[in-house]
């Protein structure tokens, strides 16, 4: 009888632990089924596939972006990220369309400008000679979309996270309780780097949920894979113009 009682307690503990993990991973979007990468020592995500997320209904673009940007073969490998600590874990998949690549550009933005297309979930770093570097991003979920032009006012590596009071209250109403402060690191939702936009609370930042890239999933910030935000971070400076459309 004692052995059966102990076994019952153990089963209850396992179920409780599973429920806690689910709530922790469900901060912004549900984690898809996990598959094992053939190279677990590789940076975050090297698998290819379909990335799930909250898909926003298509809106009419502010300008004919499809004519401005035309994909070309990638000419540079994704930059590797120096992590503060390495560990062997299983990683979800990402759609290859959201991996960095060079594209043609014939729009009005000057070289060095960042253009973010929140309709197609792409970030473009405009280069010289009619080229642009394109990255996949996660953007504001329905009700949190925005547009405008700002300058990068600050850059930080492995930034701390202090959720706004409105976000804490909003998530608490859903039964999701956020910390008031979280130190920078691989578990931090802001990821490896952050680029701060004007005097707003919006940032271009990394993520600890790379499977959400390509979806409308954030509270307004522009979310990138950690590998990609590190690459962008090294290419731009404070004062860079960012156009969100």
Put simply, whether the predicted model's pTM sits higher than 0.75 gets the answer: no
| The two structure tokens encoding residue 144 | 């949190």
- What class does CATH assign to 61-81+91-244? mainly beta
Domain boundaries, the chain: 61-81+91-244
Predicted local distance difference test score (pLDDT) of residue 23: 37
Predicted local distance difference test score (pLDDT) of residue 72: 52
Judged against a pLDDT cut of 90, whether residue 51 lies above it is answered with no
Distance CA 177, CA 153 (A): 30
Distance CA 161, CA 152 (A): 18
Q: Which of 103, 31, 32 is nearest to 65 (CA)?
A: 103
Query: Residue 201: which residues within 8 A CB-CB, separation 6 or more?
Result: 164, 220
Predicted local distance difference test score (pLDDT) of residue 162: 92
pLDDT in tens, 71-123: 554 444 444 445 555 555 555 678 999 999 999 999 999 999 999 999 999 99
């Amino acid at each position: 009888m004692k052995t059966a009682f102990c076994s019952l307690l153990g089963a209850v503990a396992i179920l409780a632990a599973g429920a806690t993990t689910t709530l922790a991973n469900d901060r912004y979007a549900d984690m898809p089924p996990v598959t094992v990468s053939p190279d677990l020592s590789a940076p975050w995500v090297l698998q290819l596939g379909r990335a799930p997320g909250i898909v926003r209904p298509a809106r009419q673009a502010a300008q004919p972006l499809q004519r401005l940007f035309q994909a070309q073969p990638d000419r540079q490998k994704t930059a590797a990220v120096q992590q503060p600590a390495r560990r062997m874990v299983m990683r979800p998949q990402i759609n290859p369309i959201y991996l960095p690549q060079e594209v043609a550009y014939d729009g009005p933005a000057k070289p060095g400008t960042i253009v973010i297309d929140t309709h197609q979930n792409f970030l473009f770093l405009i280069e010289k000679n009619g080229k642009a570097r394109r990255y996949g991003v996660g953007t504001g979920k329905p009700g949190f979309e925005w547009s405008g032009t700002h300058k990068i006012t600050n850059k930080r590596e492995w930034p701390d996270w202090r959720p706004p009071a409105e976000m804490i209250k909003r998530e608490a109403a859903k039964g999701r309780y956020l910390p008031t402060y979280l130190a920078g690191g691989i578990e931090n939702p802001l990821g490896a780097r952050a680029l701060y936009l004007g005097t707003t609370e919006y940032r271009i930042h990394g993520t600890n949920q790379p499977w959400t890239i390509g979806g409308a999933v954030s509270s307004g910030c522009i979310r990138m894979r950690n590998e990609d935000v590190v690459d962008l971070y090294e290419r731009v400076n404070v004062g860079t113009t960012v156009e969100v459309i």
